[in-house]
Chains A and B, each alone.
Chain A
């Protein structure tokens, strides 16, 4: 008799606590969810709307339809930016992949100093693109940099003025970008190589396959997912490239090394064409989404299938 009124509130109290426990996870996740909805998706919509508005120096909400997109796609600077992005992305992704793969395969030959070499190849990844740009700007400057060095060595006719040559400046960004990122690609491929089953290689070498053949015919095809990941990561880095251009060439000479990211920044913050800036940001988002959404979708689904 005594125990009944005694336990009843205890049970009720516990159920209240349990209800709180049930809601706690949602409460804990709620701030991040709200932040994402507002600051990622809400801001996308906001920028999307600005790209349809007459915004110039300050945001304006006067709707003008696709006028800003029309202006964007008739702007010669935007064409230069798109063309540069194509050149940069193809060369940057290509060279970084080939060099990363070559370094990974060479390091995979049971090298004694592997740890030290890996550290050396990868350290540029820890440095800011602004620092990389500053260093390469110094080395590539024709007056005192590599050009003068080679001339001092005796080749007095040697010229290497890509940094100040409007036709060649975009390639200096490729050089610095590949220097910065190829070690990262190497690390990805090395991890992939370490995951390849040694038995397959042994069996193939017993069958008389040469090492280059083993790599070309067996190991590289097995690593197709690593190629895909490297491509996605590098493409993503290429589209977002901003710091390196700012530090190395400042978008110049003239606007010879303009990329979409620098175009967007300059339109918005220094040329008082916020509407065009917003339109270019939307174009960038669509490009990234076209690469990332299918990739993330297949990764998440693949992860579920295996897990």
Chain B
């Protein structure tokens, strides 16, 4: 028994021990459990409503149709308008792109300052910024709604961009700070002696070497902002809603017949951008998750 168990820690030399078969079976089973919900979403989105009623969760579409996708994109009713989710999809794009760009750029400069140009009090300022990452956003909802109203940005994409930049800064600052901590001070000092200034050092020396952390930060920010629901639901209404809010309205407040196939197609559309980023750059996605969880 002992020797079989030990074998699992090493590549098998002769045959495949039973323990290893069990291991593979378990890993496969879990993989199935994780994939199943997405698989079910996809097959449901390709069925007609009749087929959904007569078949079951796992039955493959007998007569696959793209009609639910066409409806979800361009015809489904959200609230009183029946123009599909495409407008809300573009709202999310218009919100995420500027918010990600701005928060990443400012975060890079902040990280540069708190690691390479430390001044008295910089540590305290960083600690204050850092705690902002972890507040439950419920504590800022009411004041934020008031402020957005006062400055005329209530129910607008610009207002949401502002909110996401503000509450994304602590994460972007944290990421760049951790990355620049490991960047050799000697290079910065040598450039200073050569007469390079604050911005020249940043743009010529640090930024060109920051590609990995830029990718991590952009992915983290994009995933968070695209998937946000709380801010979108609290600060937007009607036509300016992001896609997560529109999806929830489509699924939870549609009157009459529940069009499950259309709901599933809309849900996949809402998930596609972040899923694509994950599949294409999963390594960086994981690194971002870890950096957000393990500070140093």
Residues of A in contact with B (beta carbons under 8 Å apart): 17, 21, 24-26, 28-29, 31-33, 35-37, 39-44, 46-47, 50, 59, 103, 106-107, 109-111, 117, 119-132, 134-139, 144-146, 148-149, 152, 179, 183-184, 187-188, 191, 201, 205, 208, 210-212, 229, 233, 236, 239-240, 242-243, 246-247, 250, 260-261, 264-265, 268-269, 274, 277-278, 280-282, 284-285, 288, 292-293, 296, 299-300, 303, 306-307
Q: Which of B172-200 contact A (CB under 8 A)?
A: 173, 181, 197-199
Asked whether B5 lies within 8 Å of A212 as measured between CB atoms, the reply is yes
Partner of B129, one of A36, A44, A46, A300: A36
Q: Which of B27-48 contact A (CB under 8 A)?
A: 27, 30-31, 33-35, 37-38, 40-41, 44
Considering the complex of A and B, which 4 residue pairs feature the smallest CB-CB distances, nearest first? A25-B117, A128-B227, A126-B278, A281-B138
A-B contact count (CB 8 A): 272
Decide: A47 near B143, CB < 8 A? Known: A149-B56, A183-B34, A211-B5: yes
How many residues on the B side are at the interface (Cβ–Cβ under 8 A)? 98
Closest to A119 in B: B282
Partner of A149, one of B58, B125, B127: B58
Asked whether A126 lies within 8 Å of B230 as measured between CB atoms, the reply is no
Question: Can you give 20 A-B contacts (C-beta < 8 A)?
Answer: A24-B199, A32-B169, A41-B128, A43-B144, A44-B139, A106-B23, A111-B27, A123-B34, A128-B270, A130-B267, A131-B270, A136-B37, A144-B260, A183-B34, A187-B286, A211-B9, A247-B248, A277-B142, A281-B138, A282-B139
Q: How far is the CA of A138 from the CA of B36 in the complex (A)?
A: 13
A residues within 8 A CB of B206?
A: none
Given A29-B113, A120-B35, 14 new contacts (CB under 8 A): A21-B198, A25-B198, A35-B166, A103-B27, A109-B23, A121-B34, A123-B275, A128-B244, A130-B248, A144-B53, A210-B5, A246-B229, A261-B138, A281-B138
Asked whether B139 lies within 8 Å of A285 as measured between CB atoms, the reply is yes
Identify whether the interface residues of A are mostly helix, strand, loop, or mixed: helix
